[in-house]
Structure 1
């Protein structure tokens, strides 16, 4: 079998124009008659933008711009544009912003449907005044009320900046970072914007740039604080300062020489003891005698029961387990004159050493708190550290006659009669003893009167019985003078003198009421001693 392959006898060159068409229908519109047509489109602009210094690299001076747009007249004030300012009142409509460094203005409001041709009436520029990015000054009057400082500046690029200090005196925005000391009135503000260097590589060509200004964050991103330039002549501030009327020592009842000018004494200092307390009122579901009720919190520090009218339930009608937050009514509990329902008013606390105090009122303790505290029912107070307190008696002596003079040393000739407190010391308890000077004045050989310097005569006694007058507030004896301690030789007029020291601490309370109209007819407060005790485990 034989195979033969074809051979080309001739090659011819040809050129063709190929066109590609989408697989869609082509529509053609045409007009077969000559003529003219017109159409209009309405565009609503939210801003109008102009450059007042086009072709010039000069800085505009603040409050030097005035131009007309249609029938409206615009002027600048610290980076803001106002239109149609009333010459009598100085008020106008805020309509836009101006950048003093670039000359660009942006109008956000204007009268519509008028000629949009801008006519410049006034403009002053300069090449001598250098912009700044740091401002420091001190207010002429101090102290400044916290949170009242407002600083207004005109930036060359971002328009007007309005800065407000918070209660701690901190000024913090994207373009401004600073602070104020409210006590001294010193204000210090730096103007810069945190800029990501990779997003703005042109920043290295600026005159102010220095590689030492670069810093990195935790993600190794390179940042630089680019200055925000402001017009130094545009800086304005507004603040409220305190002035105080001199304190009258006669009205206060004490010398005001060492008091602060405002009369306020700080109650929190570093190293002092601070107490956080939360007070709550919980209604008991019933009032069954002998029943135990659980409170909503444990490890409480104080608890009292009261009825619906606020009348306190007698303390001997219930017991409180402070560790576990339980209240148990006595077995013979009865409402009697009390009005149901019964509620438990209780408080829990935490005490710690203060290691930081801020002007904003923030206080830091050296230890964490052990309870949950709500702002609505919690307070923070300072503690007056008293130390160990215990009752005792001092200055025991005898004298021949009672002269009604409360001295701590005997007067007159010595007498043979005496009381032997070496073997039979006078007994006092923390519950019953009070701060008092006592005199046992004999009316004959055996009987005597019990007299206190403040309490007056509270009773009588004799040598045959223990002398133990009862304190009506605590139902415990003020003191106990044992019968075995009396010697012989006592006659009418002789006196045994001694002082009792209470397990309390003397404090002064000064209540301050600001000038105002009364909002309530009655007011009250309660002083409580907070103590630590030793427990038998």
Structure 2
């Protein structure tokens, strides 16, 4: 390595010139009779200052070695970018220009005006032993890498500093840099070149380069191109990335053995042959709230729609009617705000459900049929479906026993009795709307009257064998069940029990919501569960 200062004049040459008198008579002479009469000053505004710190030398500058003073400002080099007046307390300075490591050319875009313009070079290191490169490959020490967190900074010989950032897919693509990162393995591979068209004007210059080969040329759209190398100072390459680390979970806390789980704890939710759903959720802002008016959403064939006010309070469902096929909703004729706070808005979603054909490790999911809506990444999600199958309310386990002991077993105890309910001719009627998951006991208080008791509901009413028994579900306002009066036989006595179970048209779902460790930003949090069902429409 060598250390150089700016070149200085080392000699003076002397030249003799013979001057002769001329005899021409029409020579005109112009002279100034007053010393200050023609003196003027012109102010020139420059948008940049350019000079060469390696004037007279052809050697590569080592990254981070340039330091010079211009006026009262001190400039230092960081990977091809110049900063002035760096504060040693916080290591921050003012971005002021660039330096080319291959040519030594400096261009300043920011400096202090009206000061001494003498440039004093304080530090400069050049070399002929470290050749430049046009490819960088390395692997991060920690994996996996968080998507979009990789930043690579390099100093080039001709184009100054390049700051490169990888996108969500790990791709880095600029005019001078091409490559990317595998977020799972942490491997980074970058090539530095510029796609350059070969013309008659530049062919001779390109062919004179020592790296040129005719095999590097390629044709595209009837033109010849070559990937012109962008040379990078290897000592200037640095990167920054965020990697994930995972804490192993205790099997007792997790509730299952984590031995076969991936290191990051993630498990696949999409499999070939499963059902997948694409869903988009949008918000429609209402400009007014006129009773009886119909409002059109921007989409048709929507899956659900509900109205809420500006405070998040839901508008009662009986105050509007939704046309799901055409994407419209109409306020009722007697609509009134009451306690609602305008403006109102409609939150709605539309969906496509299909069979999953293919799943790629990069997250790409392919369906066996095309989607029927337009989806954008901002308001759409893809989810797997929990297939429940057909559901229908029914009753099971009907039997009688002589006495009631508050024992909710599913078989009779205490011997047989002569009384019975004839469900062969008069089955107990249940509906999807009214039935719940419950065990029922009808306990007789005399030979005609009985109490209606549920295992979890408690006593909800009384009944008699002389009329139909239809206790009302207060949630849906439909009967839990209906027992026909014609089905009761004779012989009932006080203490006798008719036992049966009702099975609701629902499916047990275990809902778990995971929130990453962080400080709470809101005081409350909530979510909704929406069931998707297929029905038979009657034309």
Which of the five TM-score ranges fits, normalised by the shorter chain?
Answer: 0.7 to 0.9
CA distance in 1, matches of 2:502, 2:202: 82
Deviation at 1:229, TM superposition (A): 1.9
Runs of at least 5 residues in structure 1 that lack an aligned partner in the other structure: 1-26
Aligned equivalent of 1:134: 135
Deviation at 1:242, TM superposition (A): 4.7
CA distance in 1, matches of 2:345, 2:34: 97
CA distance in 2, matches of 1:449, 1:262: 56
Aligned equivalent of 1:180: 181
Aligned equivalent of 2:225: 223
Aligned equivalent of 2:206: 203
Aligned equivalent of 2:14: none
**The structure with more radius of gyration:** 1
Q: Structure 2 vs 1, CA of residues 414 and 77 (structure 1 numbering), >3 Å: closer, same or farther? A: same
Q: TM-score, normalised by structure 1?
A: 0.74
Aligned equivalent of 2:281: 277
- Residues 107-141 of structure 1 deviation map (CA, whole Å, 9 limit, x = unaligned): 444566536465464424132x3332222333334
- Residues 283-318 of structure 1 deviation map (CA, whole Å, 9 limit, x = unaligned): 66543xxx5645455544445577899574463x76
Contact residue 352 and residue 371 of structure 2 kept, 8 A: no
CA distance in 2, matches of 1:508, 1:394: 24
Q: How does 1:332-411 map to 2 (within 5 A)?
A: 333=334, 345=346, 347-353=348-354, 367-370=370-373, 378=379, 380=381, 382=383, 384-400=385-401, 401-411=403-413
Aligned equivalent of 1:64: 65
Aligned equivalent of 2:30: 31
Aligned equivalent of 2:102: 101
Deviation at 1:50, TM superposition (A): 0.8
Q: Structure 2 vs 1, CA of residues 114 and 168 (structure 1 numbering), >3 Å: closer, same or farther? A: same
CA distance in 2, matches of 1:73, 1:500: 86
CA distance in 2, matches of 1:96, 1:234: 17
Aligned equivalent of 2:483: 481
Aligned equivalent of 2:430: 428
Contact residue 68 and residue 119 of structure 2 kept, 8 A: no
CA distance in 2, matches of 1:86, 1:321: 66
Deviation at 1:255, TM superposition (A): 5.2
Secondary structure of 1:76's aligned partner: strand
Q: TM-score, normalised by structure 2?
A: 0.74
Q: Structure 2 vs 1, CA of residues 327 and 174 (structure 1 numbering), >3 Å: closer, same or farther? A: same
- Residues 9-53 of structure 1 deviation map (CA, whole Å, 9 limit, x = unaligned): xxxxxxxxxxxxxxxxxx996337999999887766522221517
Aligned equivalent of 1:501: 503
- Residues 68-118 of structure 1 deviation map (CA, whole Å, 9 limit, x = unaligned): 556665443322334555556544444432322334433444566536465
Contact residue 52 and residue 103 of structure 1 kept, 8 A: yes
Aligned equivalent of 1:531: 533
- The answer to whether 1:449 aligns with 2:459 is no
Secondary structure of 1:481's aligned partner: coil
Q: Structure 2 vs 1, CA of residues 211 and 403 (structure 1 numbering), >3 Å: closer, same or farther? A: farther
Deviation at 1:154, TM superposition (A): 1.2
Q: Which moved more, 1:44-53 or 1:167-176?
A: 44-53
CA distance in 2, matches of 1:136, 1:81: 26
CA distance in 2, matches of 1:137, 1:164: 15
- Residues 311-339 of structure 1 deviation map (CA, whole Å, 9 limit, x = unaligned): 74463x76554434353747xx5869777
CA distance in 2, matches of 1:236, 1:248: 38
Contact residue 142 and residue 241 of structure 1 kept, 8 A: yes
- The answer to whether 1:213 aligns with 2:222 is no
Q: Which moved more, 1:91-100 or 1:421-430?
A: 91-100
Aligned equivalent of 1:12: none
Secondary structure of 2:281's aligned partner: strand
- Residues 357-394 of structure 1 deviation map (CA, whole Å, 9 limit, x = unaligned): 9999998875344479896xx55463634344432325
Aligned equivalent of 2:464: 462
Q: Structure 2 vs 1, CA of residues 453 and 188 (structure 1 numbering), >3 Å: closer, same or farther? A: farther
Q: Structure 2 vs 1, CA of residues 293 and 344 (structure 1 numbering), >3 Å: closer, same or farther? A: farther
Runs of at least 5 residues in structure 2 that lack an aligned partner in the other structure: 1-25
Deviation at 1:212, TM superposition (A): 4.1
Deviation at 1:153, TM superposition (A): 0.9
Q: Structure 2 vs 1, CA of residues 439 and 285 (structure 1 numbering), >3 Å: closer, same or farther? A: same
Contact residue 50 and residue 105 of structure 2 kept, 8 A: no
CA distance in 2, matches of 1:423, 1:44: 105
Secondary structure of 2:486's aligned partner: helix
Contact residue 447 and residue 460 of structure 1 kept, 8 A: yes
Q: Structure 2 vs 1, CA of residues 212 and 502 (structure 1 numbering), >3 Å: closer, same or farther? A: farther
Contact residue 283 and residue 341 of structure 1 kept, 8 A: no
